[in-house]
Chains A and B, each alone.
Chain A
């Protein structure tokens, strides 16, 4: 069909408008494809690594190792594979710890990605991220615990995908902590305390019910961790799950926005060409032929947008995957690690949606009789809406009425401007809140509330009085409504824990009941005055407590009670404690199970904040870009549609500036109203999504909007709007004087 030639020519003539919608569509597809490819890569690698290298179902540590006979008895009884593993924590320098394991054969099998598996005495393999961050590569010799060893390869461990030192750590920081494997002989040769653990694996990947108590009967259990509770394994899975909603929601919103823009543009095109369509119908063109022709616009926009989006998205997924690789230690086991369905969905869904919707719009236009199309439209648009008949509408001068009419007549435009601003604002505020939250999270939790420098955890109950200003406390894991909770028994007058809520100290309230952390309150949906029941996981004892306050502790689902009360509940001696908070660096390490160095935690937060800051900047750029495109497209269309009036104003002697004020600034109030509605909305939406994710992440971001965010957001959105106005003013300048006369002719 020769008509097809009109499409590229029209698009070229209106290149800015079409480029705008194509970019919007591209951004939606790009975002979806890049995020999905990165996430599915992560998922595929995780699944493959987990299965092929027998990731543990659970592991335990007991005071006395079980005998070989006992182990095989348990293996038979519960259909398990059990394997012993030893490790040592080695300080390679003041702040860095390497956890060196002996290599296992049956559970948590190490994977060597480069180099060789250590075979001989004095050979080790280390995690690549740890090596990178500490300047160690294959072939280097490092000194561990006084022994010189050689690095023969890079290793991945299935139970250290998220490489954290302690289960309670929030952030992985390979510059401070890493893992490695070596032979049993090398491990024994290193001077230090060797820890032993038993790894268990079964095909169903479920911890047998009775196993835990049975092991506890044979030897005292110090620790028993199922894979569900193992952050090193679980975190990557909750990340995959959590990212799932982001991957679909954000691109879908942008897709909806870009589809709306395409339809707007196409409706406008069909309106502009109504005479042409009428002529073609009169000449004898069939509706199906005309439909096919006008669908050409949708094909051009859809194909260009999606294909560009897929290409850019696929390219972008590579650095994104690298970013993930810094967080999660997963080997690339196969060549195509992503799910190819991502490409299919990223291509098919936007295109099909676009075609269906445009068919709908085109069909509506083609229903009109050819004669109606051939007649000029003025008759129908001359009607006044009910709104324009209201008495207040007709008050004031003609300029006021003209502007009001502009607003009312282009309801759809006004609505889309509102939506566009809302979308950009929400995205921007998300970014600003996240930016701020990292700092607030650290400041409040680690500086204002936890005022200690070290927390020392003992491997057995202590009763000796603490030396030198330490504050003893009891910590235990209990269950509330089946969910795990960290229970803290603390001295209410301790100087090392200031349970603060909005600046108010809640420690005194511990005498009236329990104080809980923010994640606890969110997970269990409780507030001041509610009651909850604690269950001791070991003996099913229960205790009912009333909640006396929610402290600004943003990390971990925790519950604080007075020390004696907790000891009584757990049937510990009255003055017993499991841990001590203190300011001095602990010197004696007898019986010490773990030392928490708060500064290290803060440091690792700081070191990841760079990445967060970058993604926040990326998000803001994205928000502004989409805002500029949407607003420019809309104001452009408004100028185009009103070009006869604009031309008339010019003929009458109005200056361009005055005309643009008259026509374009009508929408300014909408922009600002939308902005101020969107700010609280963003905060609420973010809070809701944080709450829905808290169970997986275990932390909550403070989501309050600070006044400076409102100011920054206002400036950014204002600039965005100003920029799109500037772009449309150029178009307004180009409206010719003849336009007014031309339009009246036909």
Chain B
């Protein structure tokens, strides 16, 4: 089991009020799968993804990812954990505006001892012919492709995507989903996708539904469909 989340709780102190962002959440994700995390806004999806990816801490429970028990790691060890195992994709792409496409991917490549090939990576995400462009010269979908390449080139075990299609239209969004599925198939990367688009669940091996910090439903799809067939909502 590559990701194991056991009874994890997280409280946010927001002024006087306490917000329980995660309530005893438990989850198992096998290797090489695509997982969709669904749920309304504020239900704790991002919090769950962030604690799994090691960019946030939790208050109770235990998380084991790729053999590492996260609550036992110091901040610097957590950095090494992310460096080795995790790749992040954000809704806002977060590319470095003063670097070209290729250079942005290079930012990810430098983190790894045995990275993937740059040309192959850029060809796979379909950005090879635009490798010398700056982010401001690209569309949203193209920028997200670059962000995916940046996360993938270090060949991580997990790709953690927080609403990767949230800022994209249907056509571009589906292309990105297709790319993520392709990545999962080609490199065996475990992909966690947060979305409030119900339809996206149909392309995942496993679907998790969250509400008010709790995992209220978890099921597996026998036959995940192709992204282009997803009902876009």
Interface residues of A (CB under 8 A from B): 1-3, 5-6, 9-10, 13, 275-276, 278-287, 369-371, 374, 746
Contact = CB atoms under 8 A, between A and B. Distances in A.
Nearest to A273: B96
Q: How large is the interface on B (under 10, 10 to 19, 20 to 34, 35 or more residues)?
A: 20 to 34
B52 to A, nearest CB: 12
Residue among A1, A283, A370 facing the most chain B CB atoms (10 A cut-off): A283
A741 to B, nearest CB: 14
A198 B9 CA distance: 98
Residue among A1, A6, A281, A370 facing the most chain B CB atoms (10 A cut-off): A370
Given A283-B107, A285-B111, A6 B98 contact: yes
A282 B98 contact: no
16 contacts: A1-B110, A275-B92, A275-B94, A276-B96, A279-B88, A279-B96, A281-B79, A282-B53, A282-B88, A283-B107, A283-B108, A283-B150, A284-B79, A284-B84, A284-B111, A374-B90
A456 B81 CA distance: 94
Contacts of A282: 53, 55, 82, 88
B102 to A, nearest CB: 9
A13 B98 contact: yes
Contact of B98 (A10, A275, A281): A10
B120 interface: no
A369 to B, nearest CB: 8
Given A5-B103, A284-B81, A746-B92, 6 more contacts: A5-B98, A13-B98, A283-B150, A285-B79, A286-B83, A369-B56
Contacts of B76: 286-287
Residue among A9, A282, A286, A370 facing the most chain B CB atoms (10 A cut-off): A282
Interface of B: 50, 53, 55-56, 76, 79-84, 86-88, 90, 92, 94, 96, 98-99, 103, 106-108, 110-111, 150-151
Given A2-B107, A370-B55, A371-B55, A287 B79 contact: yes
B96 A6 contact: yes
Contacts of A284: 79-84, 86, 111
Nearest to B147: A279
Contacts of A287: 76, 79
Contacts of B86: 284
B168 to A, nearest CB: 14
Nearest to A370: B55
Contacts of B87: 283
A1 B106 CA distance: 9
Contact of B106 (A2, A9, A13): A2
A195 B92 CA distance: 93
Nearest to A1: B110
A299 B103 CA distance: 22
A322 to B, nearest CB: 47
B107 A280 contact: yes
A515 to B, nearest CB: 73
Contacts of A10: 98
Nearest to B134: A9
Nearest to B112: A284
B88 A371 contact: no
A369 B86 CA distance: 17
A285 B107 CA distance: 9
Contact of B94 (A13, A276, A286): A276
A10 B98 CA distance: 7
Contacts of A283: 82-83, 87-88, 107-108, 111, 150-151
A433 B86 CA distance: 68
Nearest to B84: A284
Nearest to A9: B98
A281 B99 contact: no
Nearest to A278: B94
A531 B82 CA distance: 81
Nearest to B100: A5
Nearest to B105: A2
Contacts of B106: 2
A232 B79 CA distance: 70
Nearest to B57: A369
Of all A-B residue pairs in the complex, the 4 with the closest CB atoms, nearest first, are A284-B83, A284-B82, A9-B98, A279-B94
Contacts of B94: 275-276, 278-279, 374
A285 B108 CA distance: 9
A279 B90 contact: yes
Residue among B80, B98, B150 facing the most chain A CB atoms (10 A cut-off): B98
Residue among A275, A287, A374 facing the most chain B CB atoms (10 A cut-off): A374
B150 to A, nearest CB: 8
Contacts of A746: 92
Contacts of A370: 55
B131 to A, nearest CB: 13
B80 to A, nearest CB: 7
Nearest to B91: A746
Residue among B53, B87, B99 facing the most chain A CB atoms (10 A cut-off): B99
Nearest to A275: B94
B181 to A, nearest CB: 23
A490 B76 CA distance: 85
Contacts of B82: 282-284
Contact of B50 (A1, A13, A371): A371
A371 B110 contact: no
Contact of A286 (B79, B98, B103): B79
Contacts of A275: 92, 94
Contacts of B96: 3, 6, 276, 279
A285 B76 CA distance: 10
Residue among B53, B81, B107 facing the most chain A CB atoms (10 A cut-off): B107
A312 B82 CA distance: 49
A597 B150 CA distance: 86
Contacts of A5: 98-99, 103
A281 B90 CA distance: 13
Contacts of A279: 88, 90, 94, 96
A190 B11 CA distance: 105
Nearest to B81: A284
A278 B96 CA distance: 11
Contacts of A374: 90, 94
A293 to B, nearest CB: 11
A38 B110 CA distance: 50
Given A283-B151, A286-B79, A287-B79, A2 B98 contact: no
A216 B83 CA distance: 91
